[in-house]
Amino acid sequence: MLSMNRRLWITAAMSLGLFLLVWTGVAAGWTERMDEEGLRLFDYWNWLDPFTFLGNGKTIGTISIMLVIGLWFFRRDVYGMVLVVAAVGGGYGINEWLKHIIGRPRPPHAEIGGFSFPSGHAMIGTIYLLILAYFLAQTRPKRGERAAIYGVFGALALLTGLSRLSLQVHYPSDVLGGFLLGVAYVSACLALYRRFTR
């Protein structure tokens, strides 16, 4: 049976590979039809709009700071504090760097500026919500409880990314790319954290 760290590295590698595939598809124009049809579909899913607040900078910053403080006061987990800062801050930096390298314009009717691929809400939302789920799951002894925590926070990350489609500020491939890169990066960060804490 594979160890948790090995599973995390495999997840990171597979997610990164899929992200590169999506990036290639975007660059080659293979995703254009899917993106246009996806935007038309999600234009009617207005109930998703409120979930975008989970990916806002203020929300992510506030929850990340609270998590860092909690890790210090309740666990004295310095490595955990570094994990949160490196994963969330590093993920944000990688996202901004890639957006400027790729330079993909946002959908025509988007009312915000900046570039589109990969979605920052999907990527950073996935990173911080899964880290939060990881630490919460460690407090539960039963596997079913831990699975439920990951399920809830995974669903919140999904809704955060999909809200960018209902708001028409990202293409579906932007959100998919954000999810994949977020999973790849957070998996690698967690694998390193687990290695240093053993």
For 99-130, the pLDDT digits (tens) are 999 999 999 887 888 899 999 999 999 999 99
Q: What is the Cα Rg of the chain in Å?
A: 17
- Judge if the upstream peptide bond of residue 118 is cis by omega within 30 degrees of 0: yes
pLDDT at residue 1 tops 80: no
| Cβ atoms < 10 Å from Cβ of 154 | 15
Predicted model pTM: 0.94
Which tokens sit at 183?
A: 């999973």
Least Cα distance to 40 among 155, 159, 172 occurs for: 172
pLDDT tens, position by position, 27-73: 999 999 999 999 999 988 999 999 999 999 999 999 999 999 999 99
Residue entry with tokens 């309740």: 74
